[in-house]
Amino acid sequence: MRIGHPEFHAHRATTQSQVPDAGKVRPPMLTVIAPADGRVVDTIAAETPDRVRTAVDRLRDNAAGWHSLGVVGRIHWLRVFRNWLQDSRTDLVALLGAETGKTEAEAEAKFGPAAPSPRTVRSPACRRPG
């Protein structure tokens, strides 16, 4: 079978789909287990100490940029994040419940302070005296 022959490509595709990770070195994995029933919630890659240090250094370097946004700029991005939390609330509550073994009501109660209603988040300058 020649490399340019259609059967070669069909055989190659079949072989690759049967062993997709052949020859690849996979990082160590962490398994997230639901404490309530012992089922696997997810499997995630573990990071090496060097990669963690690199991420921490990058975050520290970005702190100056965050500070330079000023209060108004930070409020803008915190509102964007809050809106994302609110839009993702159902999925995040389900994940929180699965990862901690909490009921949906308990997870919702824990999640509530993380994504308050837009009416409860106002800058002090917007509040009326009294």
Give residue 125's pLDDT band: very low, low, confident or very high (50, 70, 90). Answer: low
Cα 108 from Cα 103, distance rounded (Å):
8
- Domain residue extents for the chain: 1-46, 48-124
The stretch 15-34 carries a mean pLDDT of 71
Predicted local distance difference test score (pLDDT) of residue 101 = 85
Q: Could you give the CA distance from residue 126 to residue 2 in angstroms, rounded to a whole number?
A: 74
Non-local (6+) Cβ contacts of 33 within 8 A are 39, 40, 41
Overall pTM surpassing 0.85 (yes/no): no
pLDDT digits (tens, 9 = 90+) for 74-114: 999 999 998 898 899 899 998 888 888 888 899 888 877 76
pLDDT score, position 57: 95
Model pLDDT, residue 24 = 73
Token pair, residue 85, equals: 């939390």
